[in-house]
Homo-oligomer: A and B are copies of this chain.
Amino acid sequence: MDSPTSKTQSENLSSIQQQVVDFFVDGVRVLGLPRSLGEIYGLLFISQEPLSLDDLVQKLGISKGSVSQGLRTLKTLGAVREAENINDRRTYYEPATDLKRLVGGFIREQIRPHLDSGKSKLQQLNQTAALSSDPTERAFFDERLERLESWMKRGGQLLPILQKILGQ
């Protein structure tokens, strides 16, 4: 029926808006986040004025439900904030654009929880390994579990460094 180009398309986006949205759609995909997040953040990022939920629905051509949930997640990640001083019943959103904040939010919401749950699983694993009666096997398990522990530890050390490097 209409242009067979990209998946994200809606006659309401200019060429540059479309390209930036696509850029972020790819970006969030790498991070394992749903495409709608990339669309929403991308459009906010390339908009001079804050946008309302309805603006996003109309311009992106996606459902109200998606935008509502997407905005919530983005807020949780610290990637968007509500704009102040708008004389309107609606809430308007603008993007956070400093890398430090973005990276920090991503680490806090997406990385840390997994690191933490990993650490607790490791504890459990150590207990299970202790049950082994064969000494050779036991030594092998211990060696591998120690390695896992060192990986987790490195990961934990890495995060602050990451934030330091990216947030300047």
User: Given A16-B129, A132-B16, A97 and B165 touching (CB < 8 A)?
Assistant: no
The residue of chain B having its C-beta at the shortest distance from the C-beta of A148 within the complex is B23
Q: Which residues of B are found within 8 Å of A90, using beta-carbon distances? A: none
The residue of chain B having its C-beta at the shortest distance from the C-beta of A30 within the complex is B114
- Interface residues of A, CB < 8 Å — how many? 44
**B128:A48 contact, CB within 8 angstroms:** no
A27 at the interface (CB under 8 A from B): yes
User: Which residue of the partner chain, among B48, B140, B166, contacts A154 with CB atoms under 8 Å?
Assistant: B166
Q: Residue-by-residue, is A118-160 near B (CB-CB < 8 Å gives 1, otherwise 0)?
A: 1001101100110110001100110010011011001001100
User: Given A23-B148, A27-B118, A141-B46, A16 and B125 touching (CB < 8 A)?
Assistant: yes
User: Which residue of the partner chain, among B30, B48, B128, B154, contacts A165 with CB atoms under 8 Å?
Assistant: B154
Q: Which residues of B are found within 8 Å of A150, using beta-carbon distances? A: 99
**A26:B99 contact, CB within 8 angstroms:** no
Q: How far is the CA of A150 from the CA of B132 in the complex (A)?
A: 52
Apart from A15-B131, A22-B121, A46-B144, list 13 A-B contacts with CB within 8 A: A16-B125, A16-B128, A16-B132, A20-B125, A23-B118, A23-B121, A23-B125, A30-B32, A30-B110, A45-B144, A46-B141, A48-B140, A99-B151
